[in-house]
Copies of this chain bind each other. A is one copy, B any other.
Amino acid sequence: MSYKKFLPLVVALLSGHVAAHNHDSITDKAVQLREQALNHSDPYGIVESLTVEVGHRLPGTKNDERAVEWAVKKLKSFGFDKVYTEDVDIPVWHRGVEKAEITFPYPQKLVITALGGSVPTPKDGITASVVRFDSFDALKKAKKGSLKGKIAFVDELTPKHREGNGYGKNSVIRRTSASIAADKGAIGVVIRSIGTSKNRFAHTGQMSYAKGSKKIPIGALSSPDANLLATMLKKAGHVKLSMTLATEILPAGKSANVIAEIKGREKPEEVIILGAHLDSWDLGTGALDDGAGVGIVSEAARLIAAMPQKPRRTIRLVLWAAEEIGLVGSKQYVREHMAELKNIKLVSESDFGGSNIFRFDSNFASSDLHFVDNVMKVLAPLGIEKGNNTAGGGPDSWPFRMKGVPVFSLRQNGIDYFDYHHTPNDTLDKLDPKQMQQNVAAWAAVIYMAAESDVEFSHLPVKQ
């Protein structure tokens, strides 16, 4: 055998060795990042700064503007290559006074909150008899005209689940009950809050009206108040409710996606996006939703930016605008970045509070699944297990995934998340700094490895 015959094998072995060495080096650096995050990151401090210095961040409010200023200033202090904003056009809705009381037979005040997007009641409110439905299905089955002049009460429980499945299933009640009830003649709707706590907080959240349906006001009652109303109906048969929701639907306004970049040293045009949303509902201070995400991904990106050698691909941190009112910031981003989309390799968002990550789910082409095994070497010591390949990637990643961009999800323990979500009780004290550091560790490792690796991250079929 001549030497030449062996050459391809030798080259293959050598390159294999080099690749393996290179790969080890990536893993080693990811492990270093992970350990640094576990011991020296401060995602909680970022959320403290945001919730104390800004507070809530309802799109279209002065607070939302202050949040954008806060984010630009904060990210500029983190050593990124560039920090900038991109305007986002938003619908503007304000809450105003909200109150409800049972007026007959046993007068009692109830804790209610308007759902985002709801039209107001007349100034003096509406008062009407209540018709209760023990499930969303029962509401849908009610006969046309059967709710004429009534207030519909949709009283379905939302169960607790580590991955928030109860919310996933029940948020449709919040989003669509107004038009369904209006089509049957109702003049208003109250729902049992789509939440999992027994505390006396009403959970807000976005709703919308179906085309052609009459727009009627809708609010959510706290769990104890839904219980009270249900029990009174059972005891008395006939109950009258009065509610005033002084919501305002205002002219369209502006917000902004806040963006920071670590420019890739070899393939700057290829982009890995990690995000969280900067906006929040106005009842709490948005510490869990999504201050926690802002803290986690900002710290992860900061740690990567501080590495002696920048990764090969560009890392783009985006703090999305107006997620709560319909993924407005990410949808506009995708529309405006269509030309660049083929170079967006991977997208993910942290938007499920600050508790420990327990699983890594991907949504990759099968040819890229070996990346999962690589990252698992770094994630497993964090108590994170390998998951499925049907990840959603977080709300603001979905407009990307629709267009074929691969996504991943670092799944967090959400057993308590819907206890606080969209209520006045979404405040800083609900976060655990140690668990947030575990999140930063996982995010920093995955994002770094994706940006440094030569995995293709092939785009997936577009969804309709």
Contacts and interface: CB of A to CB of B under 8 A. Distances in A.
Given A200-B424, A231-B48, A285-B108, A224 B429 contact: yes
- Please state the number of chain copies in the assembly: 2
A111 to B, nearest CB: 7
A52 B428 contact: no
Given A223-B429, A429-B223, A429-B224, A52 B106 contact: yes
A231 to B, nearest CB: 5
Contact of A200 (B55, B106, B201, B228): B201
Contacts of A425: 199-200, 224
A53 interface: yes
A224 B425 CA distance: 8
Nearest to A111: B424
Contact of A227 (B198, B224, B428): B428
Interface string A406-423: 000000000000000001
Residue from A111, A231, A284, A427 with most neighbouring chain B CB atoms (10 Å): A427
Contacts of A200: 201, 284, 423-425, 427
Contacts of A51: 228
A54 interface: yes
A223 B198 CA distance: 18
Contact of A53 (B55, B106, B285, B424): B106
A106 B223 contact: no
Interface in A163-216: 198-201
Contacts of A55: 106-109
Nearest to A224: B427
Contacts of A4: none
Contact of A54 (B52, B53, B106, B423): B106
A430 interface: yes
A235 B53 contact: yes
Interface residues of A, number: 31
B430 A198 contact: yes
A363 B227 CA distance: 41
| Most B-side CB within 10 Å, residue of A200, A201, A228, A424 | A200
B106 A235 contact: no
A285 B429 CA distance: 26
A223 to B, nearest CB: 7
A280 to B, nearest CB: 13
A232 interface: yes
Given A53-B235, A284-B200, A429 B108 contact: no
Contacts of A54: 106
A232 B52 CA distance: 6
Contact of A428 (B224, B285, B424, B428): B224
A400 B119 CA distance: 57
Contacts of A52: 106, 228, 231-232, 235
A430 to B, nearest CB: 7
A398 to B, nearest CB: 31
Interface in A324-369: none
A73 B284 CA distance: 43
B227 A429 contact: yes
Interface string A82-125: 00000000000000000000000011110100000000000000
Contacts of A111: 424
B424 A228 contact: no
Given A55-B106, A108-B55, A228 B198 contact: no
A235 B51 CA distance: 12
Contacts of A284: 200
Contacts of A235: 52-53
Interface string A213-257: 000000000011001100110010000000000000000000000
Interface string A252-266: 000000000000000
B53 A228 contact: no
A406 to B, nearest CB: 39
| Top-5 shortest CB links A-B | A224-B427, A55-B108, A200-B425, A200-B424, A198-B429
12 contacts: A52-B228, A52-B231, A55-B107, A111-B424, A199-B199, A199-B201, A200-B201, A200-B425, A223-B429, A224-B425, A224-B428, A228-B285
Interface of A: 48, 51-55, 106-109, 111, 198-201, 223-224, 227-228, 231-232, 235, 284-285, 423-425, 427-430
